[in-house]
Structure 1
Amino acid sequence: MLTQQRKAHILAVLRETGEIVAKTLSRDLNLSEDTIRRDLRELAAEGLLQRVHGGALPASPALADFSGRQTIATDGKKAIGRAAAAMIQPGQVIFVDGGTTAVQLARHLPIDLEATIITHSPSIAVELINHPNITVEMIGGRLFKHSMVAVGASTIEAIAYYRADIYFMGVTGIHPEIGLTTGDSEEATVKRTLCRYAAETVVLASSEKLGAASPYVVVPMNYVQCLIVERDTPEESAASFRAEGLTVITA
């Protein structure tokens, strides 16, 4: 089997099963594991999959930059944003992450809501300028332009001065075994810190992120309490997260 044929086969198996186990694939193709691992490395370098211990998972399309992500699963993100906004009660203190789904959350907040929104995302802050009863606390730092959020040591230090009722987290990969992942190490650290200082963490789980993985782990699944998923999410996918003890809300 030629290299390109092997790679096409690997991607076909990944689409069909949602994962690659190098040992199993090498046996099925009668090839060495070294050959399979080399193919996986090259496919990962092309952004076509995410290598994990023993094989690979789908790479998340949510790794695209902020403007590119605005065109992915737009209806699903609106539904998730609406469901997330409905969870916020008057008087609460809320961490809101950056990202296109979080922007939909901000857009669906009632105009008369009284709450405090703490965010490290300029995009979220701008969405809330016409909400007279929402206090917006901006967390500063170095602007990570890819995701339009602040990152760095000063960001992490500032977060420690707050305690939130809920943190609405955005990530690029959500996998029941790998956990919650994203594409930048500093951004992962900021998300991890926000999770630590919130009483409850709710993950905004649009469809392109489920079953996918990115290079940097934020937290394992047992660090969060709830996922908000799209209406057409397969039941077996939702069940895998319920098995981890999470509440799964269908938007």
Structure 2
Amino acid sequence: MLAAERRDHLLGLLAREGKIVAKDVAAALGISEDSVRRDLRDLAAEGLVQRVYGGALPVSPAVVDYAARQTVAPDSKRRVAAVAAGLVRPGSALILDGGTTALAVAQALPPDLECTVITHSPTIAVALLDHPTAEVFLLGGRVFKHSAVAYGAAAVEAAQNVSAEVCLIGVTGVHPEAGLTTGDAEEAAMKRALAARAADTYVLASAEKIGTASRYRVLPWAEVSGVITDAAPDDAVVEQVTRQGVEVLFAG
């Protein structure tokens, strides 16, 4: 089989099954695992797959820059945001992650809701200026421009001195095997620091992130209270996540 044919085969397999297992492909095609891994490296370099140990997974579309992400599935993000905003009770404190779905959550909060919003995102803080009864606590640190958030040692230390009833975090990938992932190691560490300071942590996962993966794990399933998504209840990945005991809140 020519290299171009192997490439098409791998992409087709990924589309059908949601993952590529290198040893299985090698056995099926009668080629070496090294050849499969080389093909996967080439596909990963083009941004077409996310390599993982033993093979590859679908790459998340949410790894592009912040401005570009604002145009990705805006209606999907608004549906997720509407459900997430309903988790914030009057008088409570909310830790709100950065990113475009989190921004939709800030915009979905009722203008007259009395609450405290703790965030490391300047864009979230600005969005809440029009909410007169929402107290905003902005965590500072080095700015990660890709997601318009503060992160690094100073931001993590600041996060360790706050607490809240609910934390809403965004991820770039939700996969039953790879878990909850994002594309930057320090951003993943910041998300963990935020989640650790809340009684309950919910993951904001619009449908295009379901079944995809990025390089760095954010949290294990056991450390989240649930996933909020507008993916279909009978989606194969959602069903696998549910079987792991994770609560899924559906945004219709």
Please classify the TM superposition score into its range, dividing by the shorter chain length.
over 0.9
Q: Distance in 2 between matches of 1:194 and 1:230?
A: 24
Following superposition, the deviation at residue 231 of structure 1 comes to 5.1
What is the CA-CA distance between 1:237 and the residue it aligns to? 2.5
Q: Would you say 1:2 and 2:11 are equivalent positions?
A: no
1:157-172 equivalences under 5 Å are 157-172=157-172
Displacement of 1:114 in angstroms is 0.4
CA distance in 2, matches of 1:200, 1:122: 23
Contact preservation (8 Å) 1:204, 1:227: yes
Specify whether residues 209 and 233 from structure 1 end up closer, same or farther in structure 2 by C-alpha distance, changes over 3 A only: farther
Map residues 130-145 of structure 1 onto 2, 5 A cutoff: 130-145=130-145
What do residues 12-59 of structure 1 show as CA deviations (whole Å, max 9, x unaligned)?
Answer: 110111000111111111111110011111111211111111111001
Q: Which amino acid aligns with 1:249?
A: L
Quote the offset at 1:163 in angstroms.
1.0
Corresponding residue number in structure 2 for 1:21:
21
**1:233 shift after superposition:** 5.2
Letter in 1 for 2:108: H
Q: Structure 1 stretches (4+) deviating beyond 6 angstroms?
A: none
- CA separation in 2, counterparts of 1:179 and 1:35? 27
CA spacing shift, 1:234–1:67, aligned 2, 3 Å = farther
Q: Is 1:48 the equivalent of 2:48?
A: yes
Partners of 1:238 and 1:16 lie apart in 2 by: 16
Secondary structure at 1:147 match in 2: coil
Is 1:201–2:201 an aligned residue pair?
yes
CA offset at residue 176 of structure 1? 1.5
Partner residue, 1:216: 216
Contact 2:210 2:238 in 1 (8 A): no
Matched, 1:150 2:142: no
**Partner SS, residue 130 of structure 2:** coil
Cross-structure match for 1:114: 114
Q: Which residue pairs with 1:127 in the alignment?
A: 127
Q: Describe how 1:56-135 pairs up with structure 2 within 5 A.
A: 56-135=56-135
Structure 2 equivalent of residue 176 of structure 1: 176
The aligned residue for residue 191 of structure 1 is 191
TM-score, normalising length from structure 2? 0.97
Q: Which deviates more from structure 2 when the two are superposed, residues 76-85 or residues 233-242? A: 233-242
Root mean square deviation, CA, Å: 1.1
| Residue number in structure 2 paired with 1:39 | 39
Contact in 2 for aligned 1:14/1:58 (Cα 8 Å): yes
Q: How many residues align?
A: 251
Which consecutive unaligned segments of at least 5 residues does structure 1 have?
none
Q: Residue type matched to 2:228 in 1?
A: I
In the alignment, is the contact (CA less than 8 A) between 1:163 and 1:197 conserved in 2? yes
CA apart distance, 1:93: 0.8
Name the amino acid aligned to 2:126.
V
For residues 77 and 14 of structure 1, do their structure 2 counterparts lie closer, same or farther at Cα, with a shift above 3 Å needed? same
